Amino acid sequence: MARNIEIKARIASVEALEPKAAALADQGPIEIRQDDTFFVCPRGRLKHRAFSATEGQLIFYRRADQAGPKESFYVLAPTASPDALREFIDMAAACRLFLTNDSGAMHIASAAGARTVAVFGATDEFATGPTGPLARVVREKVECSPCLLRECPIDHRCMTRVTPDRGAGAALELLR
């Protein structure tokens, strides 16, 4: 994860601060308009930031809850459809259970605190799986998995051998 030092400040007047900031800067000022939406996230913070209808970011970060400067670890994911992404996060977070494959949607649902059951085949659940007590991975251990291949040269046995009963069992375990 990337990191920075977060420093928050309250100012009485933007107009009074502008000349001081201009003296320190080599250009600007540049006005950035953004609309931030914060989501409940059990293992950090999840923020959706829209700059326009075609530009935004999903930001996951962890930092201490304390006054003053603090180290913040973060991941930025750009999006060209910020409104659709915000709507998806709202829906995923509201799910009683989210059944998915290894995907971006899996990571969003898990980060938003939804109970998540993820079916894995060719990918490695230890490297890219959902985390936390509300997540379960269902996979069939076969000799060729995880192969990390997009196209299976054999017969997709890592996926076709995962039964509906195993997925349902993991889901029921999370719902109890």
Name the domain boundary from 87, 104, 139: 87
pLDDT on residue 61: 92
Same domain, 108 and 39: no
Same domain, 14 and 79: yes
Looking at the structure of the chain, the number of domains it has is: 2
Crossing angle of the two packed helices 104-111 and 82-94, in degrees rounded to 10: 60
pLDDT on residue 29: 75
Same domain, 13 and 55: yes
Whether 30 shows a pLDDT value over 90: the answer reads: no
pLDDT on residue 120: 95
Same domain, 80 and 6: yes
Whether 28 shows a pLDDT value over 80: the answer reads: no
Q: What is the mean pLDDT of residues 42-50?
A: 90
Same domain, 61 and 101: no
**Tens of pLDDT along 89-109?**
999 999 999 999 999 999 999
Same domain, 104 and 65: no
pLDDT on residue 167: 94
Name the domain boundary from 53, 87, 121: 87
pLDDT on residue 131: 85
Residue 76 pLDDT grade (very low, low, confident, very high; cuts 50, 70, 90)? very high
Name the domain boundary from 39, 66, 87: 87
Task: Tell me which residue range forms the domain holding 32.
Answer: 2-87
